[in-house]
């Protein structure tokens, strides 16, 4: 018997995982999304369960690196001129989050949440029968510049402090693992416990089908308003439809900010626009997930081809894509993999919902205890989704969550 009704706003991977955890606890669940299952960042990501990545973007030395990146409009970090003024408040908070104390606190919180990521995903994969869509071949971090390699060693040390295995590799060892690497590669490392999906869109669709078979309803609507009324949550769509529920979850990624604000929580959420291209016939065999940290993008071999993607662009939700950013990544990828065939491919741009301290917002609304937040995961949305879903379901069930959610509260800024 259902213990109550929950409406989840957002049919991305976080919303789907939250629905799964709520169903397990006996809730009657409806998912409301303006475009459908995995229509946004959940379909266009690189397909990595990056639980071994514990470092926030903000760091004491990040501004020195960011300054050089910003000089290159097609580099790893860019701010569109038309959006420069709007992003200033986010950047100010990002600077504040770059202090050594704040970075240490953020790292601790990310590591704690990521430590729950794989166990939570294992439970969801088993329950939904999607365990066969997972590969466990590890991740290679690859460098073509000595300065970037030296800096990465500090990050590897931090990962090892949290019990994460990182194996430094020579050039010859890297080529043994990936023979297609060019002479530009000077070193790197293997992160053996990294996990990758065959395709993130396929996984989301499979989970959605499994949820539908368990009587989860899917509604196509853009939620424009949310309010609490006499113990009931009322959702109103932009076309005037109304939904009432005992509880609700805001999990609509980059579109979550205005809904949280209606409940009195002003969160500094912005969007890191990510770009990629998927090459159906790349001409090279990639055996593992490959990160190019010095250039801010990755190479991910999915079931539908090789996906080259990443980088960060601040440009909000409305500006048109700058496809030259894709071309720049492809050019750099060919420096590492000279035999890469880039003749055909599908380009994509999506919105990562990002908080200045790299921590998502997970917890109850400060004004409505029957509304939970599950957004702002930035680069870790896929990674942290299953764990987030379980934590939110625990909150909605009146249980004490298994993780201290104080660092993830909406009111921390």
Q: Give the integer Cα–Cα distance in Å for 21 and 330.
A: 39
SS3 228: strand
H or E element that contains 389: helix 381-396
- Return the closest-CA partner of residue 391 out of 18, 29, 30, 25: 18
Asked whether 37 and 202 are in contact (CB, 8 A), the reply is no
- Residue 29: phi, psi to the nearest 5? -120, 135
Q: Which part of the chain has CATH 3.30.9.10?
A: 59-96+139-192+270-354
Return per-residue pLDDT of the chain as tens, 413 residues: 457 999 999 999 999 999 999 999 999 999 999 999 999 999 999 999 999 999 998 887 776 666 666 667 788 888 999 999 999 999 999 999 999 999 999 999 999 999 999 999 999 999 999 999 999 999 999 999 999 999 899 889 989 999 999 999 999 999 999 999 999 999 999 999 999 999 999 999 999 999 999 999 999 999 999 999 989 999 999 999 999 999 999 999 999 999 999 999 999 999 999 999 999 999 999 999 999 999 999 999 999 999 999 989 999 999 999 999 999 999 999 999 999 999 889 999 999 999 999 999 999 999 899 999 999 999 999 999 999 999 999 999 999 999 999 999 999 99
- Residue 331: phi, psi to the nearest 5? -60, -45
Residue 67: the pLDDT is 64
- Return the closest-CA partner of residue 326 out of 292, 277, 271: 277
Burial level of 376, CB count in 10 A (0-12/13-18/19+)?
buried
The CATH superfamily assigned to 5-43+202-268+358-408 is: FAD/NAD(P)-binding domain (3.50.50.60)
Residue 64: the pLDDT is 66
Q: Which part of the chain has CATH 3.50.50.60?
A: 5-43+202-268+358-408
Residue 1: the pLDDT is 40
Residue 69: the pLDDT is 66
Residue 59: the pLDDT is 81
59-96+139-192+270-354: CATH architecture: 2-Layer Sandwich (3.30)
Burial level of 180, CB count in 10 A (0-12/13-18/19+)?
middle
Residue 45: the pLDDT is 96
Residue 71: the pLDDT is 66
User: How many Cα neighbours within 13 Å face the side chain of 390?
Assistant: 17
* Burial 91-104, CB ≥16 within 10 A → b, else e: bebbeebbeeebbe
Q: What share of the chain is helix, strand, coil (3-state, %, to 5)?
A: 35, 25, 35
């Amino acid at each position: 018997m259902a213990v109550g009704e929950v409406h989840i706003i957002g049919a991305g991977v976080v919303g789907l995982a939250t629905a799964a955890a709520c169903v397990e606890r006996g809730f009657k669940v409806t998912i409301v999304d303006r475009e459908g299952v995995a229509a946004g960042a959940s379909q266009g990501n690189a397909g990595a369960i990056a639980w071994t990545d514990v470092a926030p973007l903000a760091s004491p030395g990040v501004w020195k690196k960011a300054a050089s990146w910003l000089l290159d409009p097609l580099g790893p970090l860019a701010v569109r001129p038309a959006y420069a003024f709007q992003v200033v408040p986010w950047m100010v908070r990002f600077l504040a989050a770059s202090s050594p104390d704040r970075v240490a606190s953020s790292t601790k919180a990310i590591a704690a949440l990521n430590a729950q990521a794989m166990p939570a995903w294992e439970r969801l994969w088993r329950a939904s029968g999607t365990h066969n869509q997972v590969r466990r071949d590890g991740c290679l971090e690859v460098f073509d510049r000595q300065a970037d390699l030296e800096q990465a060693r500090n990050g590897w040390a931090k990962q090892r402090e949290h019990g994460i295995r990182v194996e430094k590799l020579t050039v010859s060892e890297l080529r043994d693992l990936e023979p297609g690497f060019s002479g530009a590669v000077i070193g790197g490392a293997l992160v053996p416990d990294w996990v990758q999906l065959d395709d993130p869109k396929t996984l989301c669709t499979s989970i959605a089908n499994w949820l539908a078979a368990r009587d989860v309803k899917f509604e196509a609507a853009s939620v424009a308003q949310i309010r609490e009324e006499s113990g009931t949550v009322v959702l109103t769509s932009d076309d005037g439809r109304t939904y009432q529920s005992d509880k609700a979850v805001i999990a609509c990624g980059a579109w979550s900010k205005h809904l949280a604000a209606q409940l009195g929580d002003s969160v500094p959420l912005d969007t890191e626009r990510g770009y990629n291209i998927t090459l159906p016939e790349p001409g090279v065999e990639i055996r593992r997930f490959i990160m190019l940290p010095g250039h801010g993008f990755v190479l991910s071999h999915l079931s539908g081809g090789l996906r080259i993607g990443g980088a960060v662009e601040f440009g909000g939700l409305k500006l048109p894509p700058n496809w030259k950013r894709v071309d720049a990544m492809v050019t750099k990828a060919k420096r590492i993999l000279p035999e890469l065939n880039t003749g055909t491919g599908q380009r994509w741009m999506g919105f990562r919902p990002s908080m200045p301290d790299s921590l998502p917002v997970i917890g109850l609304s400060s004004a409505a205890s029957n509304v939970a937040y599950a957004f702002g995961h930035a680069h870790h949305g896929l990674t942290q989704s299953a764990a987030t879903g379980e934590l939110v379901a625990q909150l909605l069930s009146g249980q004490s969550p298994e993780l201290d959610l104080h660092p993830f509260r909406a009111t921390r800024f």
